[in-house]
Structure 1
Amino acid sequence: MVSTTVGDGRTEASSERITSFDGVELAVHRMGEGRPVLMLHGLFSSAEMNWIRFGHARKLADAGFEAIMPDLRAHGDSAKPHEPEAYPQGVLAKDAGALVAALGLEDYDLVGFSLGARTSARAVIEGLRPRRLVLSGMGLQGLAGWSGRSAFFIDAIDRFEEVERGDPAFMAVSFMKTMKIDRVAARLLLQAVDDTDPEELAKITMPTLVLCGDKDDDNGSATELAEALPDARHVEIPGTHMSSVTEGALGDALVEFLGATA
């Protein structure tokens, strides 16, 4: 385990590498002590960008939680294999299950943003049982129809060097450049994400928070997602899909929901 300091020096996290179900190594960053909260970041992002930089992990740690924040496969400090066999269908949900097992998590909460929310929903449907679940940056339509979203990002990767300002893919390419994304690994991963049929949502029975920016409709209707789940409520915070994760209100909403006793 290696101690690291991220951001402005106030946010210290420890880091380790954990072997997933197929031998691929995943970087896991941890902050705080207390009830474990497994936190899965969004596409082309990282644990540092989604959870640490804007203070969400620190708020959880200060509230008595342990934020456990893996970098998804092909992201951040985790391995980025270029072999197609390293990306079987549903690989991210399999990684989530492997992390829960490797870390010995039994009484824990699960939080996901965007791709991390898709992954969290799939992982619960496939057997994970967190005490509470947060699906952030996600709407009902975003859990299915991944082929369209995937095709958009694959096109952005394939046209990476020619995309200019004004192109619909400009923001995606700019973010990939900022995050120094491995395009070969990312392209393979994009083809390995499972859809979730609305009928499968009945399997998500734990208390769930659907947390979304008030200007975020990138993944469909958050209200309809909350209505489709057995035990969920919808909370809005300021922002678009990209900006909502920078808002302090996100961390506040996580602390309030995960800290509730009822």
Structure 2
Amino acid sequence: MRDIATMLHFDHEGLEIAYVDEGEGEPILLIHGFGSNHQVNWVGTGWVDLLKRQGRRVIAFDNRGHGQSSKPHVPDAYHPARMAGDAAALLDHLRIGSAPVMGYSMGARIAAFMALDHPHRVDALILGGLGIHLVRGEGLPPTIAQAMEAPSLADVHDAMGRMFRAFADQTGSDRRALAACIRGSRVQLNPAEAARIVQPVLVAVGTRDPIAGSARDLADLLPNASVLDIPGRDHNPAVGDKVFKQGVLAFLAEEAV
């Protein structure tokens, strides 16, 4: 496990954002999912080492409300456009003009907003664990916020809420921040906005994932998208799957980004 003390920090919107910057070569920016952090989502699953072996400079950060970054307790702080602003500001901080961006679950939603609001910073887009629920459908349910605010895990009876609450307890997360994040980040794009994402996009979703929604339905709304099915995988296990990894490497090579 990487020592969290080795993380670097910069300030954006009065918040401290923690990040890592490893390897050499063409950069890639990684954005983790809800309730996670860069360590769990990208280091522990082998992504950082894999991309470094491929000759990449790998930049990954802890979203606001997560990991070693600042943790506001108000939902407005977690609009995906504001969180995408953190990602763009990190590229500014590192003097990187643009890069391919890979997000998973909530991180994919943030990455999509980044591609829309900061199009010249995103060379290509990898949306993992998020399909048509970027545009319609629920994705992560609002009951997760209630699970975070419950007195204890024993008081949570919703299965998905229990899963996220148990993980938050295990990692010592700020549950008030996570509750605010769920309430503020569940923002969809409309089809017209999705159609404005013109970068090459890979939509990668586990075939047993009930959270993401259809990868094909989302790809049909995007002008330049392809689909990667991750066979037999539910939402969380898909992030470290070898089919996902191989598909992303092939996509990056094909797009030469």
| TM-score relative to the length of structure 1 | 0.87
The separation in 2 between residues aligned to 1:187 and 1:53, in whole angstroms, is 24
- 1:13–1:29: 8 Å Cα contact kept in structure 2? no
The separation in 2 between residues aligned to 1:39 and 1:86, in whole angstroms, is 23
The separation in 1 between residues aligned to 2:249 and 2:204, in whole angstroms, is 12
The separation in 2 between residues aligned to 1:217 and 1:13, in whole angstroms, is 36
Alignment of 1:163-174 (within 5 A): 163=154, 167-168=158-159, 169-174=161-166
Q: Please tell me whether residue 250 in structure 1 is matched to residue 244 in structure 2.
A: yes
- 2:23–2:58: 8 Å Cα contact kept in structure 1? yes
**SS in structure 2 at match of 1:259:** helix
- 2:75–2:180: 8 Å Cα contact kept in structure 1? no
Structure 1 position 203, deviation (Å): 1.2
**Residues 1:88 and 1:254: Cα distance change in structure 2 (over 3 Å):** closer
5+ unaligned residues in a row in structure 1: which ranges?
Answer: none
**SS in structure 2 at match of 1:135:** strand
The separation in 1 between residues aligned to 2:162 and 2:75, in whole angstroms, is 30
**Residues 1:216 and 1:88: Cα distance change in structure 2 (over 3 Å):** closer
- 1:156–1:163: 8 Å Cα contact kept in structure 2? no
The separation in 2 between residues aligned to 1:13 and 1:212, in whole angstroms, is 33
Between Structure 1 and Structure 2, the one with more helix by share is: 2
**Amino acid corresponding to residue 97 of structure 1 in structure 2:** A
**SS in structure 1 at match of 2:59:** strand
Q: Please tell me whether residue 234 in structure 1 is matched to residue 227 in structure 2.
A: yes
RMSD: 2.4
Q: Please tell me whether residue 205 in structure 1 is matched to residue 198 in structure 2.
A: yes
**Residues 1:31 and 1:173: Cα distance change in structure 2 (over 3 Å):** same
The separation in 2 between residues aligned to 1:213 and 1:88, in whole angstroms, is 26
The separation in 2 between residues aligned to 1:102 and 1:87, in whole angstroms, is 20
Q: Please tell me whether residue 119 in structure 1 is matched to residue 115 in structure 2.
A: no
Question: Residues 58-89 of structure 1, C-alpha deviation per residue, up to 9 Å, x if partnerless?
Answer: 1111111111001000101111234x387164
The count of aligned residue pairs is 251
- 2:198–2:222: 8 Å Cα contact kept in structure 1? yes
5+ unaligned residues in a row in structure 2: which ranges?
Answer: none
Structure 1 position 135, deviation (Å): 0.4
Structure 1 position 150, deviation (Å): 4.9
The separation in 1 between residues aligned to 2:216 and 2:5, in whole angstroms, is 34
Question: Residues 31-68 of structure 1, C-alpha deviation per residue, up to 9 Å, x if partnerless?
Answer: 21111111000000011111111211111111111110
**Residues 1:36 and 1:13: Cα distance change in structure 2 (over 3 Å):** farther
Task: Tell me which stretches of 4 or more aligned residues in structure 1 moved more than 6 Å.
Answer: none
Structure 1 position 212, deviation (Å): 1.2
Task: Provide the residue aligned with 2:44 in structure 1.
Answer: 53
Structure 1 position 122, deviation (Å): 1.0
Task: Provide the residue aligned with 1:196 in structure 2.
Answer: 189
Structure 1 position 144, deviation (Å): 4.1
Task: Provide the residue aligned with 1:79 in structure 2.
Answer: 70
The sequence identity of aligned pairs, in percent, is: 30
**Amino acid corresponding to residue 257 of structure 1 in structure 2:** F
